[in-house]
Structure 1
């Protein structure tokens, strides 16, 4: 027998609704009567026995937790090869050993007492066991929610709802919450509507987040889809799921969205003027994803920024440089500015190095030695020709241009140039080829020479 059946209820008239104050007073009297009946029933002999049994079972559950908890923890530590998801489940179960033991013990006692004695003598234990089981299941279910704030809100809300439902007070609580509110036109806003909206939206958003994460992981693991299209599909899935969650949540509350069309249009015009840059970056981001001009992993240069694309966002692109800095470049700059994509169609990059040798060195030998030295560096490609050309006769040296190819620009450009310079230095030193530097002669004239000139 439910708790609300222990006392007479105050009927609500089907005619004209009472004033909010009168309805609150009527609900308060109803709750007070039910509370008095419940308190009086607690002092009955068998109810006191059941309360004592529940307390004793909780104490036994606490002892079992203190005894078996460390052993289970040690056993969990020896499971090194288990998947992470299984270990996470074990950790959650280990944290809730006391309520798990309590639920198992109290339901074992309830089943035994229902077979051995009258059902009324185990009724209160059944209510306590149902509450404990509902609270435990809610704890496990809400562990799926990543946000700590949202998890606590949904958990406490579900606990409250389950408690009222099991005790038979849900209808009275709904009347109480619904009586606290106000009306705007044909729409009534109440505390009950607010709580329902937060719970429904919280559940739907959590479900949308789970579906989005699952779908995104499958899309990213598909090698047949290009990285830029993967990002575009993931963004579309996120917008679709979160938009559907919000729309279904609002519709579930019975709110008509057609009345907000004019207001949302006016707000949209105002936001359009104030958020031009934001909208421009959003549209530019979609264009970048569609034309595949850049994608995650590409090496780009924009102004003085050189690095590789870490991620593509709705408003900006994350570029990580060789020194570990992460630049957030607005999408609009990538559309309107001149961007060098070192790996747009392929990863092959040609690099140039300038150097000079003395005039007395044979230029044919210099070219051969320079090409061999460059090809001896690991990252320099051997299947693409390395060439060396004379580009001029300088004041102090014969000037050369060395060109070679690499296929991994993400490994850096400055370091590969440095390795090639070192290879040239070692090769020229071994072959006796000198690298000249500018020299000037200063001639001092005596007094007679000055007048002669």
Structure 2
């Protein structure tokens, strides 16, 4: 084992000094270092005025209140770094035109661009796992570029591949295709979501048309993303027609239900038979629609349960809509009184009890009908209308029944028990 001696230390220092003299302590490198320092100091001095001016400009054009507020906020937060990177790139361009060295300027610009990209990505992507993965990829690519290893690595990946219908498909083109697909998909979804938020706030468009616009737009984004990714990867769309028949058969057998639900969802939106907020009854499930998705409808019941109903089921099965064309529904409450009670008084008391409940409509007003002479009672039928079935039916019936019971007790109206006469011979 060798021991670090004084002579070895001197030789190491001398070798590093020689490298510094040949690469750093030369006029061109010193000029670049001073230029980088001057740009950073200059922008730092005017940092607050620059940010204030940028903020006033965005407020003047109402960008901060638009669907792109997140992007604008990220740009404002990194405005100083962006200006430094742009000035460094401009200085590099001028140096190239003057045939001067530009390695340090390029290195500083790359570092600033990488830092800005990583910071913006970390705040723009909502899912932490995806944001972390993108940050790592950007950081690795930046380090490889700074070390001069990015171009050789890309050449290596481009050399590994296979032939597909006369076109070479390499690992590099596949990676580029996946990256482009993810980029187009993310940007497209961001634009669609921003436009959707803007429309819902300003246009007052029908909720059904909003959902239809969102579904069709996101479908278009998926198609464009996939097409762009395949083209970038080298899979020509013209060459894929050889596999269209097999793909169609595969979709027909393997994805039949998925596509059936998707098409059913579009049909439901176009004919406007189902929309968010509707109160419906499907089989033994009763509730209101909270969400329409590409594959299913979310139905929430009064007891807090949420049913995920495939769209196809709403097309092929009988659905009872309580609010399709009119939110008003009629509730019917049977009431039985004894034979020795005043029927007309009981009917008036029942109507008065219904009118006292706030959710019962005044027009059409509640009515009570004498329906039959039953074995043990005189049967009445109280009918009242409400306009908010999504707030519950049983609670309204309970309030009316309590009102009827209180009024019957105060006016000596009896509600009989079941009675039977037994004759013994």
Smaller-chain TM-score bracket: 0.7 to 0.9
User: Is 1:410 aligned to residue 390 of structure 2?
Assistant: yes
Retained in 2: the 8 A contact 1:310–1:320?
yes
Partner in structure 2 of residue 135 of structure 1: 114
Tell me the secondary structure at the aligned position of residue 206 of structure 1.
helix
Matched, 1:275 2:255: yes
Distance 2:163 2:17 in 1: 41
Q: Deviations over 1:94-153 (max 9, x none)?
A: 9x9xx97xx89xx9xx99xx9xxxx97xx7764553332022121134232334444344
Distance 2:103 2:335 in 1: 93
Alignment of 1:346-425 (within 5 A): 346-425=326-405
Deviation at 1:194, TM superposition (A): 2.4
1:162 Cα shift?
A: 4.1
| Counterpart check, 1:44 vs 2:20 | yes
Alpha-carbon distance between aligned partners in 2 of 1:301 and 1:198, rounded to the nearest angstrom: 44
Asked if the contact 1:219/1:234 (under 8 Å) is kept, the reply is no
Deviations 1:43-82 (A, max 9, x none): 43476889xx9xxx9xxxxxxxxxxxxxxxxxxxxxxxx9
Alignment check: 8 A CA contact 1:131 1:163 kept: no
Task: Kindly indicate whether the alpha-carbon contact (under 8 Å) linking 2:177 and 2:231 is maintained by their aligned counterparts in 1.
Answer: no
Aligned positions of 1:26-425 closer than 5 A:
43-45=19-21, 126=105, 128-142=107-121, 143-165=123-145, 168-425=148-405
Q: Which moved more, 1:356-365 or 1:142-151?
A: 142-151
1:291/1:93 CA distance change after superposition, 3 Å: closer
Q: How many residues are matched?
A: 368
| Unpaired segments ≥5 residues, structure 2 | 1-14, 38-63
Larger Rg: 1
More displaced, 216-225 or 237-246? 216-225
Distance change in 2, residues 1:41/1:415 (3 Å): farther
The two structures have a TM-score, normalised by structure 1, of: 0.70
CA distance in 1, matches of 2:124, 2:73: 14
* Structure 1: unaligned runs, 5 residues or longer: 1-38, 58-81, 446-452
C-alpha contact 1:154 1:199 (8 A) present in aligned 2:
no
Matched position secondary structure for 2:124 = coil
Label 1:438 to 1:351 Cα distance change in 2 as closer, same or farther (>3 A). Answer: same
Q: Is the 8 A contact 2:74 2:120 kept in 1?
A: no
Give the TM-score normalised by structure 2: 0.74
